[in-house]
Structures are given as structure tokens and as C-alpha cells.
Amino acid sequence: MLHENERDLRETILRISAVDVRKCMKCGKCSGSCPAYEQMEYHPHQFVAMVDNGDIQALLDSDASFKCLTCYACTERCPRDVRPARLVEAVRLLKIRKQGQNHLKPDAIPAKLEAELPQQAIVAALRKYSK
Amino acid sequence: MNYSYYPGCTLKTKAKELDRYARSSAEKLGLHLEELEDWQCCGAVYPQAEDEIATKLSAVRALAQAKEKGGKLVTLCSACHHVIKRVNLDMQNNEYIRTRVNNYIAPDAPYAGETQVLHYLELLRDELGFEQLKKSVVNPLKGRKIAAYYGCMLLRPAEEMGMDDPENPKILEDFLRALGAEPVLYPYRNECCGGYIALEDKGQARQNVDKILHSASLAGAEAVITACPLCLYNLAQNAGKERLPVLYFTELLAEALGVKEEA
Ligand code: SF4
Ligand code: SF4
């Protein structure tokens, strides 16, 4: 039996990602395609399996979702149209939507500025790492 | 033919050349781009979560305005294109999102994805035609070996982006051929440059960039072209051993059309 809290978290992730984890046939093609494989503590196919099993707290405690590049390679190559990137995004959102849990704070931006850094990078990073 | 045009923030700042060369080239080709009024930043990343409404509004505002002005919206930055194209599909196909967005911005007539979103490359391929483009070239880029870098945003998810085959794209190579250049094929042209990860972990971006540039250089490329300011930044600034000049595709276009100097 899942803890009530984890059951709720699992429901939220399934609802906002609109992913049907049961479609996964565990072929691993998503993780085989992932350019952030080395950096992600949990790989895309593990996000699918862990959400399916309700193993949500481990995903939330990990920084794996911050290492994802949102490149959609996993989504494109999945033969079952599972779209693992949406699960990674849902986990990331659950982390940063919590009051005070922004991963990148606007105060940290000035130190990261470089002459050639495009505005697009800052906007994208803030959208991905802070709410 | 008149088209609404959405430049996006970065094309007004760090990526002015991407925009400038696109405008002068379009003019030369008889394609009339009219910049939307009061457009807002698209947000640079597509909000994937079903319950994200606020982050989709700016794209819808641009789309709704373009609908009133003829119904064709041209984008240029890969990220803007990606976001606006996918939000448009949400407005067509996702009733939950469509209803909430329309309730929020309360347009005169509800917006339901009527606008056609065209990337500048699609404008050249599908509206003008690469054959026609070829006829307008005055300085063919003979003997120039160029690697087209697609990255992620233009191609994936292909089901939604609908631009090209995501594993074996050819729109940029066909574009280069039309300009008289020699496209160089290399395996990493649709691999991710790291994107926004440069702000989180530069080493991770560097790793990706090294693989891409090594792959392009092994294939004999003398330069790389892209449609994305963030790709250009990563490929040019976060490169390690392997380095190649990185240009916006519109710069080569303007050069071939003989309008580079006046741009
Ligand atoms: S979207 Fe994220 S998880 Fe999927 S392949 Fe790309 S980096 Fe990996
Ligand atoms: S590619 Fe699709 S089906 Fe295969 S393991 Fe990944 S999510 Fe499951």
C-alpha cells in the first residue's frame, strides 16, 4: 500500500503530465536516447517505472529532473508514445511549485551573465527552474 | 503575400543579425513580413503540464492577433516557433486548455487554433519554394561546406512540429543546396546542444557541444548554421577543443541573395 501522500502525488503527476505509464513496455529506448543519461540519477525509463510504482518521494528528493534538457529525444523515440519528458517536467514542477523551493533564484542570475548569453537562455532557465 | 511576423525577445537583443538578415532577405524575395504589435515573450520553453495556463497566454495573444491579420504567422527563432506551434495545437485539440485560456484573455471571438504557424524555413520551402529561392540567388555559395545544425526544437516532437523527418531531416540541407552551398551530413545534427542547462551546469553543455562539433568537423564542415540563438551561444561559447564558426542560416541567405551588406 502506498502512503496516502505518495498516492496523491502520483495522481497529481499523472493528471498534469497526462501520461499513461501503463503503456510502457520497458524497452529502455528512451534512456538509450537521452543525452543527459549520465547526469540524471534516475533515467527516463525509471521515471516511468517509478511513477507507475508510486515511488514518488525518491524522484522528488533527486535532482534528476533538473538535469533533463527537454530535448524530446525520449518522447520522439518511444515506440509506445509514453512521452517520458512530460513526467520529468511534472516532477520538476512538483518540486518548484512548493513555496520557497525555487531551484534558480533571480538573485543568482547576475553572477551567471556573460556577454554572449542570449535572453532566451535566461527566460528558459527561469521557466524551468523557478515558479 | 503578407505574413504576420513574430521576432521574439532575443532577436531584438543578442540575436539581432538573425532578424535583420531575415527581413532583408524576405524583402528581396517579395515576402512581406509585418511584425505583430505589442507581442510578448513566448517564454522560450513549451509548458508541458496540462494545468499550466498562464505560461501559454503570450503565445495565444500572438496567434489571435495573427488570425485577424490574415491567418499566417511566421516565426524565426527555433524556441519561439516550438512554443507557438505547440500552444496553437493545444488550442485546436485540448478543450481543457482552450476553455481556460479563452476565459482568461476573453477575446472578441474565442481563439481555437485557426492561425497557421510557419517557421521562416517553411516559408521558404512551402510558400516560396526552394526552386524559386535558387533562382533569386545572385552569389551562389559555391564550394562552401556547411553543416546544418537542427538541434531539438524545430524537429521534436515530430508529430506536433511537422516540419521534417526528425531522424533524417533535410530542410536545411535543401536550403543550403538552393544557395549553391554543399551541405555536410553528420550524425549529431539533431542532438541537443544542452540548451538552458548552460545556466545550471556548463560542463554538461560542453560535453554535448564537443560531440556535435567533433561530428561536424569529422564530416568536413567549415561552418555550422542554426536557427536558434541558444544553440548558437552554446556551440560558439561552450565549445572545448573542437571549434567551428557558427552562423545564423539567415546570414548565408542574405549573402547569397546579395543583400548582406545593406542588412
Ligand atoms: S527530454 Fe530529458 S529525459 Fe528526455 S531524452 Fe531529453 S534530456 Fe533525456
Ligand atoms: S521508450 Fe517508451 S516504452 Fe520504452 S521504456 Fe521508455 S517509456 Fe517505456
Ranges of each domain in chain A = 4-99, 102-131
3-class DSSP state for residue B139? coil
Task: Check: CB of residue A84 under 8 Å from CB of residue A44.
Answer: yes
Amino acid letter for position B150 = Y
Residue A17 to residue B49: CA distance in whole angstroms: 5
Instruction: Identify the residue among B197, B201, B209, B212 best suited for mutation to test binding to A, counting A beta carbons within 10 A and taking the highest.
Output: B197
Task: Check: CB of residue B171 under 8 Å from CB of residue B121.
Answer: yes
Residue B100 to residue B102: CA distance in whole angstroms: 5
Q: Which atom of ligand 1 is nearest to the CA of A37?
A: 8
- B72-75 and B223-226: which strand pairing? unpaired
Has residue A1 got a pLDDT over 80?
no
Q: Give me the CATH code for the A4-99 domain, please.
A: 1.10.1060.10
Q: Residue B5 has what DSSP assignment? A: E
Q: What is the pLDDT of residues A4-38, one digit of tens each?
A: 788 999 999 999 999 999 999 999 999 999 999 99
Q: How far is the CA of A72 from the centre of ligand 1 (A)?
A: 6
Ligand lying nearest the CA atom of residue A45: 2
Write down the pLDDT at residue B241.
Answer: 87
Structural domains of chain B sorted by starting position, each given as residue range(s) with its CATH number in brackets: 2-121 (1.20.1050.140), 136-257 (3.40.50.11810)
Has residue A2 got a pLDDT over 70?
no
Ligand 2 binding pocket includes A30 (Cβ within 6 Å):
yes
Residue B124 to residue B121: CA distance in whole angstroms: 5
Write down the pLDDT at residue B1.
Answer: 76
Question: Which residues in chain A touch residue B13, judged by CB atoms under 8 angstroms apart?
Answer: 118-119
Write down the pLDDT at residue B35.
Answer: 98
Q: Is the ipTM of this complex over 0.90?
A: yes
Write down the pLDDT at residue B250.
Answer: 98
Ligand lying nearest the CA atom of residue A48: 2
Task: Check: CB of residue A122 under 8 Å from CB of residue A109.
Answer: yes
For B21-50, give one letter per residue: b (16+ CB within 10 A) or e: bbbbbbebbebebeebeebebbbbbbbbbb
Q: What is the pLDDT of residues A30-78, one digit of tens each?
A: 999 999 999 999 999 999 999 999 999 999 999 999 999 999 999 999 9
Calculate mean pLDDT across residues A123-130. 96
Q: What is the number of other CB atoms lying within 10 angstroms of the CB of residue A33?
A: 19
Residue ranges in chain B modelled with pLDDT below 70: 263
The answer to whether the Cβ–Cβ distance between A118 and B15 falls below 8 Å is yes
Ligand 2 binding pocket includes A82 (Cβ within 6 Å):
yes
What are the angstrom distances between the C-alpha of A92 and each of A67, A86, B184, B239? 10, 10, 38, 28
